[in-house]
Amino acid sequence: MSDDFNQLRILVVDDERDIRDASERILTRMGFHVRKAKRGDEAIDLLPDDNISIMLLDLKMPGMDGMEVLKHVREQDPKILIIIITGYATVDTAIEAMKRGAYDFIPKPFEPDHLRAVVNRARERLTLTREAKRLEEQRKRTLADLDTEKSRIRTIIESLPDGVVVTNAEGQVVLMNPAFQWHLGLETDIGLGRPIEAYVPDESLCRLVREISSGKHVDYDDLCSIEFSPFSDRYLLAKGQPIIGEKMECLGAVVNIVDITALKTLDRLKSEFVAKVSHELRSPLSTIHEQLAFVLNEMVEEGPKQDLHMLSRAKEKTSGLISLIGDLLDLSRIEAGAVCEEPKPTQVEKLLENIVDFLSPRAKTRSQSLTLQVPNGSLPAVTADPLALESIFGNLITNAINYTQEGGEIKVVVDHTGINLRIRVEDNGFGINEKYQEKIFERFFRVKDEQTRYITGTGLGLPIVKGLVDSLNGLISVESTSGKGSVFTVLLPTAGAADG
């Protein structure tokens, strides 16, 4: 029995002393705290301070009778369970009393067992009522907590400076914050529930959101991101991620949107600055280079050896700077979208033949074999500016020569896959550690290790190659193993595919 019930108070109201005392004995042994009253009014006086839970109430009493006490108690404290004590003759009245709210009745005279059974039932009822009340209170508390938690999360999401939009598995918007609406210039009353296309004007972002929502990106570790521009002067970066449920099913997508207009402007200003400076430096540097060449020519016969050496070094350096400036200008042009202005159908295998012929002497000085493999029969043409193609494959083959040991093997393999022409530049040279394989397409990135330390270069070749391949709607990828070699694969859409 719990402490609570040891403290349960029971009031016995009966004008017969024997009944009062007998009940007291039995109930005390059952663990109740027992109070007694011999009259109705006495019982009512006790109620307010005595915290009574159960009342045993005789119906027939002098003065205020049981019915009246019952009415009073029901009004004053309806939680008290009232058990009517009544003689056989008044069973009808007992039933009437039950109708008026008494909990149970016990006929007089009663056996102790009978009293125990009836009172135990009342006690159980009290336990259940209390438990139900406790659960109800707990439920209310949990609901209140949840409500506060929900509104707290909502407030946080609404105050985020970044846009947030959440879609369900069907790609319909189920949540968005004011920053999202603001970034996309949406009406404040646009409402939820419509497909993502109703909110976002960018086709590729909508496609990405739909793909993520339907679970296509569940196995990807990286966040998918897309840059887009909803208005002419605003650039946004969207990053999306699937929402995974408990059973690892995809419930939808959450997309975060950041304004990168300032970064873009800075990037453009930087590019313009680099382009301008490169342009301004190129003419004077070329003049210095030519003058050095001229002076060196004059000095070859009679000039002091030391001066000759110094001037040759200066000439080499100026030639390195001129090539760097050339690369920077190429990159600026690619960024400005000013390459391939006059594309024409080009037979890539012919062009590769020329490049391989041109670079063969360089490979020979390093005792490397440089071969070109072209399938039998004619290949479809690629619509492109031949200068862009020369730059792409010139860079890739030069890299293969530079980053392969003496005596190595370099192969250029062309084939035709579906709508693309595939060109692979393979070497069995130094290879590239996996962690650098994405980085080599970034500007100025060069792998610096024992083997590459003394090879000169600026790290602009591959960014130029990538920029050009992108502008031709092609793809470039690299597979490489440190110490074994590398394969750079370029896919270029053929003229027929481009027309289609």
Ligand X SMILES: Nc1ncnc2c1ncn2[C@@H]1O[C@H](COP(=O)(O)OP(=O)(O)OP(=O)(O)O)[C@@H](O)[C@H]1O
How near is the Cβ of 347 to ligand X at its closest, in Å? 25
**Residue 66 touches which of Mg ion, ligand X, none (Cβ within 5-8 Å per kind):** none
| The one among 53, 256, 399, 428 contacting ligand X by CB under 6 A | 399
Looking at beta carbons only, is 85 or 410 nearer to Mg ion?
Answer: 410
Looking at beta carbons only, is 93 or 404 nearer to ligand X?
Answer: 404
Residue 120's Cβ-count burial label (10 Å; 0-12, 13-18, 19+) is exposed
How near is the Cβ of 447 to ligand X at its closest, in Å? 3
Looking at beta carbons only, is 486 or 494 nearer to ligand X?
Answer: 486
Binding mask 467-486 vs ligand X (x if CB under 6 A, - otherwise)? -------------------x
Q: What is the CA radius of gyration of the chain?
A: 46
Q: Say how far apart CA 440 and CA 289 lie, in whole Å.
A: 30
Q: Say how far apart CA 176 and CA 396 lie, in whole Å.
A: 46
How near is the Cβ of 325 to ligand X at its closest, in Å? 12
Using the rule CB under 6 A, give the single segment among 119-127, 239-247, 302-310, 397-405 that binds ligand X: 397-405
Task: Count Cβ neighbours within 10 Å for each residue of 344-370 and write b for 16 or more, e otherwise.
Answer: eebebbebbeebbeebbeebeeeebeb
* Residue located via tokens 């002098």: 62
Encoded tokens for 105: 């009745």
Residues with Cβ within 8 Å of residue 311, at least 6 apart in sequence: 292, 295, 296, 299
Handedness of CA 43, 46, 48, 53 (dihedral sign): negative
Phi-psi region of 377 (alpha: psi -120 to 50; beta: other; left: phi over 0): left
Looking at beta carbons only, is 104 or 427 nearer to ligand X?
Answer: 427
**Residue 452 touches which of Mg ion, ligand X, none (Cβ within 5-8 Å per kind):** ligand X
Footprint of Mg ion on 392-411 (CB under 5 A): 399
**Would you say 343 and 385 are in contact if contact means Cβ atoms under 8 Å apart?**
yes
Looking at beta carbons only, is 40 or 461 nearer to Mg ion?
Answer: 461
Determine, following the binding rule CB under 5 A, whether residue 485 of this chain makes contact with Mg ion: no
First-to-last alpha carbon distance for the chain, in angstroms, is 87
Q: Cα–Cα distances in Å, from 166 out to 14, 107, 147, 163, 241? A: 70, 69, 21, 10, 10
Encoded tokens for 106: 């016990």
How near is the Cβ of 326 to ligand X at its closest, in Å? 10
Determine, following the binding rule CB under 6 A, whether residue 461 of this chain makes contact with ligand X: yes
How near is the Cβ of 314 to Mg ion at its closest, in Å? 24
Residues with Cβ within 8 Å of residue 26, at least 6 apart in sequence: 112, 115, 116
**Residue 446 touches which of Mg ion, ligand X, none (Cβ within 5-8 Å per kind):** ligand X
| The one among 461, 467, 474, 485 contacting Mg ion by CB under 5 A | 461
**Would you say 159 and 138 are in contact if contact means Cβ atoms under 8 Å apart?**
no
How near is the Cβ of 438 to ligand X at its closest, in Å? 11
Using the rule CB under 6 A, give the single segment among 84-92, 142-150, 354-362, 430-438 that binds ligand X: 430-438
| The one among 403, 408, 421, 490 contacting ligand X by CB under 6 A | 403
Kindly determine how many residues on this chain lie close enough to bind Mg ion according to the rule CB under 5 A: 2
Footprint of ligand X on 431-450 (CB under 6 A): 431-432, 440, 445-447
| The one among 424, 459, 475, 479 contacting ligand X by CB under 6 A | 459
Looking at beta carbons only, is 173 or 460 nearer to ligand X?
Answer: 460
Binding mask 295-334 vs ligand X (x if CB under 6 A, - otherwise)? --------------------------------x-------
Handedness of CA 241, 244, 250, 252 (dihedral sign): negative
What single string gives the DSSP state of each residue in 463-498?
HHHHHHHHHTT-EEEEEEETTTEEEEEEEEE-HHHH
How near is the Cβ of 318 to ligand X at its closest, in Å? 16
For residue 38, what is the DSSP state?
A: S
Helix axis angle, 461-471 to 305-335, nearest 10°: 30
**Would you say 180 and 165 are in contact if contact means Cβ atoms under 8 Å apart?**
yes
| The one among 457, 475, 479, 489 contacting ligand X by CB under 6 A | 457
How near is the Cβ of 437 to Mg ion at its closest, in Å? 15
| The one among 430, 467, 472, 495 contacting ligand X by CB under 6 A | 430
Binding mask 414-453 vs Mg ion (x if CB under 5 A, - otherwise)? ----------------------------------------
Determine, following the binding rule CB under 6 A, whether residue 400 of this chain makes contact with ligand X: yes
**Residue 460 touches which of ligand X, Mg ion, none (Cβ within 5-8 Å per kind):** ligand X
| The one among 106, 179, 460, 490 contacting ligand X by CB under 6 A | 460
What single string gives the DSSP state of each residue in 397-422?
HHHHHHTS-TT-EEEEEEEEETTEEE
Helix axis angle, 91-99 to 66-76, nearest 10°: 20
Looking at beta carbons only, is 163 or 431 nearer to ligand X?
Answer: 431
Encoded tokens for 186: 């949406």
How near is the Cβ of 458 to ligand X at its closest, in Å? 4
* Residue of closest CB approach to Mg ion: 461
* Residue located via tokens 């200008």: 329
Contact residues for Mg ion (CB under 5 A)?
Answer: 399, 461
Contact residues for ligand X (CB under 6 A)?
Answer: 327, 395, 399-400, 403, 427, 429-432, 440, 445-447, 452, 457-462, 486
